[in-house]
Structure 1
Amino acid sequence: MNPIQYNTKQAWKIVLLIFAAAIGIASLWYSNYLVKSLSKSERTKAEVWAMSTRSIMTMPDVDDEFISFIYAVRDSLSLPAIITDEQNNIIFWRDLDSTKTNIKLEDSLKSNVQYDPLYFQKELDHMRQAHAPITLTLENGEKWSVFYRDSKALRNLKIFPFIQLSLIAIFLIIAYTVFNSIKRSEQNLVWVGMAKEAAHQLGTPISSLMGWIELIKLKFDAENDQVVNEMERDVTRLEIVADRFSKIGSKPILTNYNVYDVIMNFVAYFKVRTSEKITFQVAGDSHVEAMLNVPLFDWILENLLKNAVNAIDKEGNILLVIKENIAKEEIFIDISDTGKGIPKSNFEAIFQPGFTTRQRGWGLGLSLTKRMVSYHKGQIFVKESEVGKGTTFRIILKSNLNYEPTQV
């Protein structure tokens, strides 16, 4: 997957995210529209209730049948409400908490009736904040204020979209996590199967090559021939590579090694197989030790050094520096090159499976490298890079010996 393909994939993710956000916004907008419509309807209900209450209280000589009709209208409009006079005295209420008072509505205007002032004052404050009061003007010129708050159904409707979107988001996160985990598990099984099959297929020709090399040594008396010795080293290297693949899926065995010596041994093998115009240098603390699986650690170094060589156009330098952080019991391994560098926007992407800047690359090298570093309970990241000047990768390993290996 080249950067263009990777960016296209990221763009699709952004498009889907925007689409999901649009659905959420549309849901909130429509819910808000419904809330406003119902709120307007409840305002009308409150006004009808207030006028019917005034009619009952100011028309005592009206026909009983008409009064019964007014009562029926008033009682059908169920909203929590409080009526106050001009002095802000509470003179009437309805649909409040019945546990706070045992007063009947018909008795609320009697002078000897007492109610819980703190409860009613609290309710009144809430109603003042919720809606502007409805003003009722009596025949004698006195003005009453009617306060009300939303019904329980309307209050629930206001918070329903947020609950709905939260549940949808939780469901999507769980579903994405589960499916992603299943996908990774299936991919891992495929990679493990392919790796073990590759190791099995390599076994026979490697054994055959080792036999042919021994035959060449005997037939041509080439025991000390440099070319034959290098061929033997390459075949041994192939044997190590096959062994790496055969152990994928099993727990690696970590042993205490001198980090400097392991790096020096691999660099000595690697540099004679690259251009003479590229120089290698290993520096830093030569005494530090860490728990390593050498075949896997060599694989880490191989991937990083190959990337460094490919990044260098014609000639350049590759520097490996080992530093010990005694306070944190850590070992820093910095691998720097004078190659073409990495844009900062790709610092994280380069470790993603399938990401590559090479036309024929598979984009698996750094992804495998990061995984193998994690087998050593370590970390790897781009410490610094500048386009046209070079890149420095940093590996952090634990220098203490008290940790368990994880499965490859």
Structure 2
Amino acid sequence: MNPYQYNTKQAWKVVLIIIAATIGIASLVYSNYLVKSLSQSERTKAEVWAMSTRSIMTMPDVDDEFISFVYAVRDSLTLPAIITDEKDNIIFWRDLDSTKTNIKIEDSTKTNLEYDPSYFQRELIRMKSAHKPILLNLENGEKWSVYYHDSKALRNLKIFPFIQLSLIAIFLVIAYYVFNSIKRSEQNLVWVGMAKEAAHQLGTPISSLMGWIELIKIKFDAEDDQVVNEMERDVTRLEIVADRFSKIGSKPALTNYNVYEVINNFVQYFKIRTSEKISFQIVGETHVEAMLNVPLFDWIIENLLKNAVNAIDTEGTITIVIKENIAKEEIFIDISDTGKGIPKSNFEAVFQPGFTTRQRGWGLGLSLTKRMVRYHKGQIFVKESEVGKGTTFRIVLKSNLNYEPTQV
């Protein structure tokens, strides 16, 4: 997968997120429209209730049929409401907590309203903050103010879209995680099967090659021949590669090794198989030790060195710096090259399976490298890079590990 393909894949994810966000926003907008419509309807009801209450409390004697109609209109309101005079004295209320209110009927013409003052003040403040008051002008010059707050149905409708979207988002996140886990598990099984089969297939020809090399040494008395010895080293290397693949999906043992010695041994093998125009330097502390599986750790270093070599057009330098952070019991291994560099936007993408800048690359090297570093309970990341000047990868290992190894 080249950067264009990777970016296209990322673009599709962004498009799907935008579509999901659009649906969510549309839901919120429509719910807001319903809330405004219902809110306007409730205000109209509050106005009708206010005027009917004023009529009942101020109108002269009228026939029973009309007064019954007015009472029916007033009692049809189901909103909590309070009427106050110009001095904020409470004149009447509707649908408040019955445990905090009490109505005494002293006689047939006078009603004395008793209530919990602190409760009513809290409710009045709450209603004032919820809506503008409805003003009523009486014939005697007095002015009443009617306050109310939303019904329970309207309050629930306001928060329902957020609850709904939250539940949908949680469901989608869980579903995405589950499906990704299943997909990764299936991919891991395929890769493990392919790796073990490759190791099995390599076993027979490698054994044969070792036998042929021994025959060449005996027949041509070539025990000290440099070419034959290098051939033997390469076949031994093939054995190590086969062993690597056979360990995928298992839990290889970790042993305490000197980090400098392990890296130096591999670099000495690697550099004579690389262009003479590329120089290698290993600097830093030579005494630090870490828990390593050498075949897998060599694979980590090999992948990083190959990437560094490919990044250098003709000639350049690859530098490996080994440092110890004693306070945190960590070892830093910085592998730097003087190659073409990596854009900052691709610092994370380079570790994604399938990401490559080469036309014939599979894009698996750094992905496998990151996985093997994690097996060593370490981290790997692009420490720094500048296009046209080079890149530095940093591996962080624990210098004192006591843990059960995880699956490769």
Q: Same fold (TM over 0.5)?
A: yes
Aligned length: 408
Shift of 1:403: 2.8
The 1:105–1:159 alpha-carbon spacing in structure 2 relative to 1, beyond 3 Å, is farther
- Matched residue of 1:93: which SS? strand
Distance change >3 Å, CA 141–CA 355, structure 1 → 2 = same
CA distance in 2, matches of 1:33, 1:85: 34
Tell me how large the CA RMSD over aligned residues is. 1.6
1:197 alignment counterpart = 197
Please name the residue that 2:335 is paired with. Answer: 335
State the match for 1:154 in structure 2.
154
Distance 1:372 1:219 in 2: 42
Structure 1 equivalent of residue 321 of structure 2:
321
How far does residue 218 in structure 1 lie from its aligned partner after superposition? 1.4
- The one-letter amino acid of 1:29's match is V
Distance 1:110 1:336 in 2: 94
CA contact (8 A) 2:103 2:111 kept: no
2:298 is matched with 298
Matches within 5 A, 1:333-372: 333-372=333-372
Q: Alpha-carbon deviation of 1:60? A: 4.0
- CA distance in structure 2 between the partners assigned to 1:278 and 1:105 by the alignment: 104
Distance change (3 Å), C-alpha of 1:106 and 1:378 = farther
How far does the alpha carbon of each residue in 1:173-207 deviate from its partner, in whole angstroms, 9 at most, with x for none? Answer: 11111111111111111111111111111111111
Deviation beyond 6 Å, 4+ runs, structure 1: 104-107
Alignment partners' CA distance in 1, 2:266 and 2:74: 92
Q: What do residues 48-99 of structure 1 show as CA deviations (whole Å, max 9, x unaligned)?
A: 1111111211224111011111111111121110011122110100100112
The reply to whether residue 374 of structure 1 matches residue 347 of structure 2 is: no
With normalisation by structure 2, the TM-score equals: 0.97
SS at 2:403 equivalent: coil
Deviating more after overlay: 324-333 vs 398-407: 398-407
Q: State the partner residue of 1:98.
A: 98
Question: Are the counterparts in 1 of residues 334 and 393 from structure 2 also a CA contact under 8 Å?
Answer: yes
Kept in 2, the 8 Å contact 1:255–1:292? The answer is yes
Partner of 1:269: 269
SS at match of 1:103: strand
- Give the CA deviation at 1:141: 2.0
Q: Tell whether the 8 Å contact from 2:104 to 2:112 is kept in structure 1 after alignment.
A: no
Q: Return 5+ residue gaps in structure 1 as ranges.
A: none
Aligned-residue offset at 1:111? 6.8
Compute the TM-score of the two structures, normalised by the length of structure 1.
0.97
In the alignment, what sits opposite 2:22? 22
* Alpha-carbon offset, residue 401 of structure 1: 3.3
1:239 aligns with 2:235: no
The Cα shift of 1:12 comes to 0.9
Q: Return 5+ residue gaps in structure 2 as ranges.
A: none
| Counterpart in the other structure of 2:283 | 283
Amino acid at match of 2:176: Y
**Alignment-mate amino acid for residue 133 of structure 1:** P
Secondary structure, in 3 states, of the residue corresponding to 2:317? strand
CA shift digits 1:254-302 (9 cap, x unpaired): 0000111101100011011111111111111111111000000000010
| Aligned twin of 2:34 | 34
Q: Which amino acid aligns with 1:341?
A: G
Mapping for residues 128-277 of structure 1, pairs under 5 Å: 128-277=128-277
- 1:286-340 Cα offsets, whole Å, 9 max, x none, are 1111100000000001000000111110111111111111111111111111111
Residues 290, 399 of structure 2: 8 Å contact kept: yes
